[in-house]
Amino acid sequence: MTAPTALSRVALITQWTEFDSGAETAAIELAQRLQLPLSVVVPLLSNPEYEVVAHGLVADAEAATADAVSAFTARARDAGVIAEIRVRRGDELWREVVEEVHAVRADLLVTRRRGHRGFLGRLRVGEMVRQIAVHSSCPLLVVPRQARVPSKGILVVIQAGATVEPEMHSAAMLASGLSLPLRVLIVVPEGQAGAVGDAPLQRAQEVARQAQVSVDGSVQTGPLPEALESSMRGSAADLLVIGVLQGPASHGKLRDVVEGVVGGVPCATLLVGTQSPSA
């Protein structure tokens, strides 16, 4: 199947918390700059037992959601963006989000990153976002509270031996739409020759050039976190793109190294679903 050459719909997941503010701002800005419709999904915990035991909490949540929906709709309208908001209720919130995103055919989903970067990285992602990342039908843009839409550049990090096309197609679409330069880093595991990264680097650059996006790249040897830290120090990029293993090989879990990256960088991270090379 031919990969899409441009984004067609942005989606946002929010629960109107303080951690969601960065994602909400980024989603509106993205929809505005790319002139795209914005679908918003609001997941609310709901099941018969919970509604009986915590009826007051459910009523308060419904009222707060109604107020937040009204305020967000007005905020988006002021930016020239039409926001289509859907409240989804269920006892598995991540599943409600994944089903809604698939139903509206979004090709980019914006979500929050909790707390501060670095310390206890897994808590910085959260269980709902973790499950969405490994099950979503579209790339997931994880946005810290203080982050904005990328404006400096995009860094794509690919481990040698992994697929190249999913991350590069998604990065190239954003780079093209936002008029940003693109840089590719191929990370080769310790003990392997750096030349192992030459072929995937060439393929990554080819994908970018086909999308008419400015690109440069390099190959580094060593553990991914160290290679990424070194590359980020010498880069002005304010968006990181990295692959997330999906399908049976993922076992429904986000790899610890990916969670550490998401929680450790100061900028937004685009998580792109990939399959293992043998899948």
Give residue 169's pLDDT. Answer: 95
pLDDT band at 119 (very low <50, low <70, confident <90, very high): very low
Query: Is a pLDDT exceeding 60 seen at residue 159?
Result: yes
For residue 173, what are its two tokens? 């679409």
Average the pLDDT over 256-263 and give the result: 80
Query: Is pLDDT at 73 greater than 90 in this prediction?
Result: yes
List, for residues 58-68, the tens digit of each pLDDT value.
Answer: 567 777 888 89
Indicate if the pLDDT at residue 116 is higher than 50: no
Mean pLDDT on 221-237:
83
Average pLDDT over residues 92-114: 94
> Where is pLDDT greater, at 190 or 103?
103
- Buried b / exposed e along 136-162 (16+ C-beta atoms within 10 A): bebbbbbbbbebebbeebbbbbbbbeb
Say whether pTM exceeds 0.85: yes
Q: Please state, rounded to an integer, the average pLDDT across all residues of the chain.
A: 85
pLDDT at 180 over 80: yes
